[in-house]
Amino acid sequence: MKYALVTGGSRGIGKAIALRLAQTGLPVIVNYCSNDEAARQTVAEIETAGGKAELLKFDVSDGEAIEAALEAWETAHPDDYVSVLVNNAGIRRDNLLIFMQNEEWREVVDTPLNGFFFVTRRLLKNMLAHRGGRVINIVSLSGIKGLPGQTNYSAAKAALIGATKALAQEVAKRKVTVNAIAPGFIATDMTKDLDEKELSKLIPAGRFGRPEEVASLAAFLAGDEAAYITGQVIQINGGLHT
């Protein structure tokens, strides 16, 4: 059986993607790091809607923890494999570079970038062996144009964009696609500290996006109709940047 794995899948954009992928009929593995209650709630919502889901707890920046968790999952599912991987986990620690602490740099870079490397490398072999798979990386407008106060976040997401384009070329012949989705301002826990009213004035669409709008694109890229789309970075930002 084919599964989908969504890292950072218990809240925000990750949760919306997990819910949407489950609607397509894929059983979903919801990865999370610390919030047990939110993770259980996400699985409950998927199951209430008629989908299938399970939890897999690990820190995406910890290579050893990832290896142990995925090894255990594969042992428990000998006839199954992850055919859709959504690398969504990420954190913000905004600060001007001159005041930025080592931890603020390290944590923000390690989570999306090392997470992509460790998780994707571990799961890619089965996609290649089965001659089919989808890797979807959630990046950001910040990684495309850069945003002041987010040098760490912009660096991490820009690097992930480069990795997306490179990996797409490595695995295309095995019918594995690799794409990135770059949201602008989306109304989630990660953006709750921002002045939504004022920032919305800068957005041609006049509002923040919804997690479900990002999830719909992820579900399309995960499907058969997107088989000829790879190496692309698709923006969802209400026209804020083109």
Is the separation of the CB atoms in 15 and 218 below 8 Å? no
Which of 52, 44, 14, 53 minimizes the C-alpha distance to 214? 14
Residues with a catalytic annotation lie at 153
How far is 166 from 200, CA to CA, in rounded Å? 34
Residues 18-30 as b/e (b if ≥16 CB within 10 A, e otherwise) read: bbbbbeeebbbbb
Dihedral, CA of residue 66, residue 93, residue 166 and residue 123, to nearest 10: 20
Q: Which of 88, 97, 42, 61 is nearest to 183 (CA)?
A: 88
Helix, strand or coil, per DSSP, at residue 94: coil
* Secondary structure class of 157 (helix, strand, coil): helix
Q: By C-alpha distance, which of 61, 205, 230 is closest to 137?
A: 230
